[in-house]
Structures are given as structure tokens and as C-alpha cells.
Amino acid sequence: MQGKALVLVLGDQVTPSLSSLAAAERGRDVVLMVEVAEEATYVRHHKKKIAFLFSAMRHFAEALRQAGWKVDYVRLDDPGNRGSFTGELERAITRHKPERVLVTEPGEWRVRAAMESWSERFGLPVEILEDDRFLCSREAFADWAEGRKQLRMEFFYREMRRKSGLLMDGGEPEGGRWNFDAENRKPAKTDLFMPKPVHSEPDEITREVLDLVAERFPDHFGDLQPFWFAVTAEGAEAALAHFLEEALPSFGDYQDAMLSDERFLYHSVLSLYINAGLLDPLEVCRRVEAEYRAGRAPLNAAEGFIRQIIGWREYVRGIYWLKMPDYVEQNFFEAVRPLPDFYWTAETEMACIRAAVTQTKEEAYAHHIQRLMVTGNFALLAGIDPKAVHEWYLVVYADAYEWVEAPNTLGMALFADGGLLGSKPYAASGNYINKMSDYCSGCAYDVKRKTGEGACPFNPLYWDFLARNEDKLRGNPRLAQIYRTWDRMADDKRADYRKSAAAFLDALR
């Protein structure tokens, strides 16, 4: 029998079936959970994210105790708290004198690098176990990627469908097609019924955490109140049940839509629960499939949703671990412009950006198309330094961890990886935002104006981006048609676009 273990459980590992807990012995081994300043400040996370995780951690520790585990929980303001995983593990080793340390692999490269130093540092075996909450292990992804000229999500996704059996009809995809994305691009109308996510009432534990966060992190971005996130598995389950019943049937149709007064539309708002471990991603997908099989949700909704989780979510994680630590250093377009202040203040005349940033500040949430086609698209077109954009996305969302945030930001939104994750940049002019949202009707800029005073900035920036990066993009077959349009444009029109873009970018300083 192996000796007594100290089991370190991280804030985004609040899952009873976690591999490190499964490998430990209840009643004998000690579970260590630590609130540490370094995790809240290595980037200055949104106040709501810190409160969500601390409260989820405290509730989880209590649930483990109830289930018979010995739990050593270090609070942020406990005397002697050294403020880092390494410092707190060292103190706990002195307290408990374990023979080994058990931990489930972390989500971030930075933390893994620290973990790998622990065995030598503390003179103890440190077992880093696989995180089996993912369908595809890091090794399995590396095997899949090996020898492929191009890594494309769609092919990876098909393998995950086969592996999980989700939406399969024998060996074939349900409905005869793997992907129903083409049916998922309807703009939403304001008179449609939109369900609101479930609001959980803060209990005493959460209220105590809210006071702590207000006192310790007053200068961090974002509003702490009102706080309505669930912080337990039961609360997250209620949010899932509500989504299945109220929003899933329309999830597919309006997946790409944006509306000024509807911050959540038919999105699930489950990413923060899934990423922290309060919901099991595969179980969520099975529940979605069951809604389809029972005739309560159409196939385009169920397939669209399942693709986001067993496709995109698993795929970006695979890319992250395959390419770190270099992945976050990439800057394909050599973009250097500083992040404009309005990413923090929301003070801009651009109604779409103002809406996305205001809601991000208030909710620590924006849905995918806002992240990709509004704040992401602007940063791409304006040539903002990818590191600054990456840090912003890591700070501002309650669901943000580097393993999922970095490939989405640097790969999908900014094309900073030169096309490893996506086959072309998601660059779009104001026309796209106008088609998919109601933002433009309330904007100081005119989306129909292409250049000059009052023109929607996305219009000249779009062409300026393509012209500026012509040497890097012209050879991309998916952009051939766009460059043909640019080539056919009259010289003075092209010059107008470039001049308008330059004037806007100069004023940004």
C-alpha cells in the first residue's frame, strides 16, 4: 500500500470524481485547497471571477468534509498564507508530513511548470495525474496531430463524435451530416422570447467571499454586484436544467446573433461551471442529446451545442498543450498597437464595442460572437498587440483559463498563430455586425458609410488590414475573392480607405 498523500485540489478542479481524489484514500489522506493571491493577481482577474472561484472552492471543501474527507483549507486572509501554490504546499507538507503529493494536471502551463519542480524541491514523490474530465488526453491529441499538414477542428470533431458516440446513427452522423452550422446564422429579433439565465441567491459563504473580494481586490476590473453565479454542483445543475428547457431549442438558430438588450440570447452561460468542474462536459452533452432524442430540441441546436464542447473546447485544449510555451509568444502580423482604454472603460462611440465591454464589466460574460466578431475583430483589424489582447481576455471573463482563452484569442480571433487553428482570419467589416445585430441603429457611426467623417470604423479598418498584411494573406485561397475585389477597386477608393483607417488609428493614440 502506498503511503499517506497530500492531495492538492485547485480552484478549477472542484469535481468529486477528480483523478487525484479517485487515487487517494478518504479518511487517511489530506485534501489541501488554498486561496492564494498569486492566482488572483498574475493577471488581475475580474472581481466576479475571483468571488465565483473562492466561493465554489469553499463550498466544495465543505462537501468533501461532509463526505468524510480530511480537508485542510487555507483562506486568503489566514495568517501566514504565503500567497502561492508552491509556498502553501510547502507549509502544508510541514503540517501534515505526507509521504507523497497527488495532484490532477493543471489547466495552465505556468502552473504545470511549477508542479514539475515540486518533487525535487520538497524531496517527495509528486504524482501529476491526467485530467480525465476531458474526452481527449494531451497524448491522444498529439497522436492525432502527428504528421498532419493542417490541424482542422472539423476532422478532430468527427473523431470525438465517433469516440463518444454522441449523435451517431451506427457509424454515421445523426441526420446524415456532421455539421449543421449553415443553419445556425439567423439574426435575432427583439420581439422573440429570450430566457434569462438562472440567478442564484448568494448564501452566507458567498456573502463572506464577496466582502473579502471587495476589500482585497477593489482595483480589479469589473462589477462585483449583483452576483448571481451558482457556486455548487447543485446550483450549476439547476442552470443546466434551465438551459435545456428554455434556451436549447433555439440555441442553434440564433447562435451567431447579437442584440443590445439581450446579453445572453439563447446561450447556455455554462462555460464557467464546466471549466471550474461544477458540471461534467460529457454529461452536459449527453443531456443535450437526450433532449434531441426526446423531440424537444432540433438537431441543428443539439449538434451545434455538442460541437462547441467535444469539438472546439477539446480542440483548443489540444492545441494549447501541443504548442506551449511558444504559443502565447506568436505575433504573425507583428501587431504592436497598445490596447485602447475603451477595452476597460467602455467609453467609445462605437455602439457594438460599448455594449460588449459594458456587459463584460457587469457580467464577466459575453457570448462567443461578441468576443470573436466585436472585441476580437476590432483588435485584429486595428493591429493591437496580441499579448495585450490575450491578457485582456484572460482578465475579464469568469470562464477564462489560459488553456481555453489563449487559442481562442491568439488563434481564432487574432490569427496570431498564422493559421494553425483557423484557415483564415475572422476579419469582417461593419456589414457583418449590422447583419447579425441591432447595434448599428443606435451608433454614432454610420455603418453604410465606407470612408470619411462618420463612417463605421470597421469599414476602412477592414480594407486597411487586408492591404497592410497583403504579403502574408494574399496567398490564402480562402481570401482570393476578397483580394480580387480590392484589386478591382479604383485607386482613389483604395486610397480613401487607407486614409480613413490611418486617421482613425492616429486618433486612437
Answer yes or no whether residue 50 interacts with ligand DLZ by CB under 6 A.
yes
> How far does Cα 178 stand from its chain's mean position?
24
Contact (CB, 8 A) for 410 and 417: yes
Q: Considering CB distances under 5 to 8 angstroms, the limit depending on partner class, which of ligand DLZ, ligand SF4, ligand FAD, none binds residue 316?
A: ligand FAD
Answer yes or no whether residue 350 interacts with ligand SF4 by CB under 6 A.
yes
- Residue 324's nearest CA partner among 269, 382, 258, 405 is 405
Answer yes or no whether residue 335 interacts with ligand DLZ by CB under 6 A.
no
Q: Considering CB distances under 5 to 8 angstroms, the limit depending on partner class, which of ligand SF4, ligand FAD, ligand DLZ, none binds residue 232?
A: none
Judged by CB under 6 A, the number of residues near ligand DLZ is: 16
Rounded CA gap, 475 and 56, in Å? Answer: 49
Rounded CA gap, 177 and 186, in Å? Answer: 20
Answer yes or no whether residue 12 interacts with ligand DLZ by CB under 6 A.
yes
| Side-chain-facing half-sphere of 383: CA atoms under 13 Å | 21
Among residues 34, 351, 394, 406, the one that binds ligand SF4 under rule CB under 6 A: 351
Q: Considering CB distances under 5 to 8 angstroms, the limit depending on partner class, which of ligand DLZ, ligand FAD, ligand SF4, none binds residue 69?
A: none
Element (H, E) at 33: strand 30-34
Measured from the CB atom, the residue of 272 and 306 that comes closer to ligand DLZ is 272
Contact (CB, 8 A) for 37 and 13: no
- Shortest gap between Cβ of 27 and ligand DLZ (angstroms)? 23
- Shortest gap between Cβ of 274 and ligand FAD (angstroms)? 5
β-pairing, 100-104 with 70-74?
Answer: unpaired
Rounded CA gap, 112 and 131, in Å? Answer: 12
- Shortest gap between Cβ of 243 and ligand FAD (angstroms)? 7
Specify the stretch interacting with ligand SF4 by CB under 6 A; choose among 62-70, 128-136, 262-270, 452-460.
452-460
Answer yes or no whether residue 302 interacts with ligand SF4 by CB under 6 A.
no
Contact (CB, 8 A) for 484 and 467: no
Measured from the CB atom, the residue of 328 and 433 that comes closer to ligand SF4 is 433
Cell 480613401 sits at which residue? 496
Answer yes or no whether residue 252 interacts with ligand DLZ by CB under 6 A.
no
Report the interface residues with ligand FAD, using CB under 6 A: 267-271, 274-275, 305, 308-309, 312-313, 316, 367-368, 371-372, 376, 393, 397, 399-400, 404-405, 408-409, 412-413
Answer yes or no whether residue 106 interacts with ligand DLZ by CB under 6 A.
yes
Contact (CB, 8 A) for 107 and 401: yes
Cell of 118: 515540486
- Shortest gap between Cβ of 6 and ligand DLZ (angstroms)? 14
Cell 486595428 sits at which residue? 382
Rounded CA gap, 436 and 185, in Å? Answer: 8
Measured from the CB atom, the residue of 64 and 372 that comes closer to ligand FAD is 372
Other Cβ atoms closer than 10 A to 146:
8
Answer yes or no whether residue 430 interacts with ligand SF4 by CB under 6 A.
yes
Among residues 6, 7, 14, 39, the one that binds ligand DLZ under rule CB under 6 A: 39
Rounded CA gap, 306 and 457, in Å? Answer: 35
Instruction: Write the binding mask 32 to 51 for ligand SF4: x where contact by CB under 6 A, - elsewhere.
Output: --------------------
Q: What is the three-class DSSP state of 77?
A: coil
Please report the sign of the dihedral spanned by the C-alpha atoms of residue 211, residue 213, residue 216, residue 219. Answer: negative
Measured from the CB atom, the residue of 140 and 282 that comes closer to ligand FAD is 282
Element (H, E) at 5: strand 5-8
Answer yes or no whether residue 369 interacts with ligand SF4 by CB under 6 A.
no
Answer yes or no whether residue 108 interacts with ligand DLZ by CB under 6 A.
yes
Q: What is the DSSP letter of 324?
A: T
Site for ligand SF4 in 326-345 (CB under 6 A): none
Among residues 69, 445, 463, 497, the one that binds ligand SF4 under rule CB under 6 A: 445
- Shortest gap between Cβ of 90 and ligand SF4 (angstroms)? 51
Cell 485540489 sits at which residue? 9
Answer yes or no whether residue 401 interacts with ligand DLZ by CB under 6 A.
yes
- Residue 479's nearest CA partner among 405, 394, 422 is 422
Cell of 116: 514539475
151-166 b/e (C-beta count within 10 Å ≥ 16 → b): bebeebbebbbeebeb
- Shortest gap between Cβ of 109 and ligand FAD (angstroms)? 15
- Shortest gap between Cβ of 194 and ligand SF4 (angstroms)? 20
- Shortest gap between Cβ of 446 and ligand DLZ (angstroms)? 42
Cell of 177: 451530416
Other Cβ atoms closer than 10 A to 37:
14
Answer yes or no whether residue 404 interacts with ligand DLZ by CB under 6 A.
no
Q: What is the DSSP letter of 28?
A: T
DSSP labels, 104-132: EPPSSHHHHHHHHHHHHHHTS-EEEE--T
Answer yes or no whether residue 401 interacts with ligand SF4 by CB under 6 A.
no
CA dihedral 208, 210, 212, 216 (to 10 degrees): 180
Answer yes or no whether residue 156 interacts with ligand DLZ by CB under 6 A.
no
Q: Considering CB distances under 5 to 8 angstroms, the limit depending on partner class, which of ligand DLZ, ligand SF4, ligand FAD, none binds residue 197?
A: none
- Residues within the interface to ligand DLZ (CB under 6 A): 10-12, 34-36, 39-40, 45, 50, 53, 106-108, 111, 401
- Residues within the interface to ligand SF4 (CB under 6 A): 350-352, 430, 433-434, 439-440, 443, 445, 447, 456-458
